[in-house]
Amino acid sequence: MKLVLLSGGSGKRLWPLSNDSRSKQFLKVLVNPENEMESMVQRVWRQLGAAGLSESAYVATSKAQVEMIQSQLGSAPIIVEPERRDTFPAIALAATYLYSIVGVSLNEVVTILPVDPYVDEAFFNKINELEQLVLSTNADLALMGVTPTYPSEKYGYIVPKNGSEAKVGATDYHVVDRFTEKPDEETAKALIENSALWNCGVFAFKLDYMINHLINKGYPIQYEEMVKQYDKMTKISFDYEIVEKAEKLVVTAYDGYWKDLGTWNTLTEQMDTDQIGKGLISPCSTNTHLVNELDIPVVVLGLDNVVVATSPDGILVTEKNASPKIKDMLKNMEQRPMYEERRWGSYRVLDYKKFAEGQEILTKRMCIQAGKNISYQLHLKRSEVWTIVSGEGEFILDENYRKVKAGDVLVIPVGGRHAIRAITDLEYIEVQRGSELVEEDNIRLYLEWSEIMEQSKPV
């Protein structure tokens, strides 16, 4: 069996920690068994490893998230969508990748799951059961549904066919009768009485089912061709294009812990601590959480059922039940990301100023991890002055190589070709000066340090 984890959406529901480049699944707000902070993606990857499944897992995502996944999961294999289109195209691309690049047999089962379910280990054991279910029932698709714990109006429900209960080995399953999307509470209650399950986005199928679907629809089945034609794929969800049209669907129930940590109120319920970052919550505050990513302390006094979240992108103070409304509130607010994690480390914007005559100044703290480097690059619209704050590194400017250390000041003119590699963890303050100070003005010439060194000569 192969697993494909879908890593989608940028999502503003956990703003200001999530932004256009940092989706909720990458926020380090959970705690791992070693007592270190971990993100939802890291938690799932760790759990997959423990269940012996990470060897056969691939992460399907858009270009924008690749560096974040590499930085958080290391060498996890990634299938990159040329552009964001929806879950059917993403899964179709993954199927062609498995078929024509990895050489997976058409008889092998592929299981799709979201990259961020908050679940316990039993969830992954259940995923293992899906393989046998597909193979033994000859169903088009086998689904895993979560046994509901309350009549939620937020989720889709999978409704089983009455009297269709059967068993494969130790796995109980039903034939699926239909789906009901986000019912009202009364309908949800009736559905639950009818043994309906929450749809948690876990689907398993034999690879030939998907490949045949692509052939029938006239889509390519070779990965390279699919990449070329990706912009022509219909933007449609896998649920609409495949699941709801499949002839034989079976579902098995997972009755363990499952939670969607998509909003501040659900996320804070899962946090082991009521405070992350600098600050104080007064003892007279109840059910209140503080998540502070800034370097200054935040004091919360006498507030009940509140989340205070701060980051370089902004500050949120919300009553817990109102927190899901944040996405709507931010609809018309445009702002560049002020913090990003990259394959080489992270940066934070410390200050930004635009002068009347159009000149801009942007100051960043750049943190490069030992052994990593930024690309050999140039900028057309800005010059940069870097002050190395800590650590040691290697620096190249217009092919001239030199070692650098804390205290050195480096001046990079507009158009200057430059790169830096950290020998030890390296931090520098970068002052950019020019017009349009955006990440898009990074013209990358080479990425790998070995290639960059081939260009260099010692000063």
Ligand X SMILES: O=P(O)(O)OC[C@H]1O[C@](O)(CO)[C@@H](O)[C@@H]1O
Residues that bind ligand X (CB under 6 A): 342, 344, 347, 366, 374-375, 377, 430, 439, 442, 444
The nearer residue to ligand X, 269 or 448, going by C-beta atoms, is 448
The nearer residue to ligand X, 179 or 401, going by C-beta atoms, is 401
Helix count (H) and strand count (E) of the chain? 11, 32
Q: How far is the CB of 344 from ligand X (least distance, A)?
A: 6
* 48/157 Cα distance (integer angstroms): 25
Q: How far is the CB of 83 from ligand X (least distance, A)?
A: 20
Q: Please list the alpha-helical segments (H only) found in 97-232.
A: 122-137, 185-193, 207-216, 223-229
Which among 128, 105, 146, 301 has a CA at the least distance from the CA of 204?
Answer: 128
DSSP of 385-406: EEEEEESEEEEEETTEEEEEET
Assess contact for 152 and 263: CB atoms under 8 A: no
358 token code pair: 């159009």
The nearer residue to ligand X, 12 or 417, going by C-beta atoms, is 417
Which among 73, 59, 46 has a CA at the least distance from the CA of 2?
Answer: 59
Q: Is the dihedral of CA 361, 367, 370, 371 positive or negative?
A: negative
The nearer residue to ligand X, 15 or 344, going by C-beta atoms, is 344
Q: How far is the CB of 429 from ligand X (least distance, A)?
A: 10
Assess contact for 5 and 59: CB atoms under 8 A: yes
Q: How far is the CB of 78 from ligand X (least distance, A)?
A: 17
Q: How far is the CB of 17 from ligand X (least distance, A)?
A: 20
Q: How far is the CB of 315 from ligand X (least distance, A)?
A: 24
Q: How far is the CB of 416 from ligand X (least distance, A)?
A: 11
The nearer residue to ligand X, 221 or 431, going by C-beta atoms, is 431
The nearer residue to ligand X, 162 or 442, going by C-beta atoms, is 442
Assess contact for 337 and 18: CB atoms under 8 A: no
Angle CA 15–94–116, to nearest 5: 30
The nearer residue to ligand X, 99 or 344, going by C-beta atoms, is 344
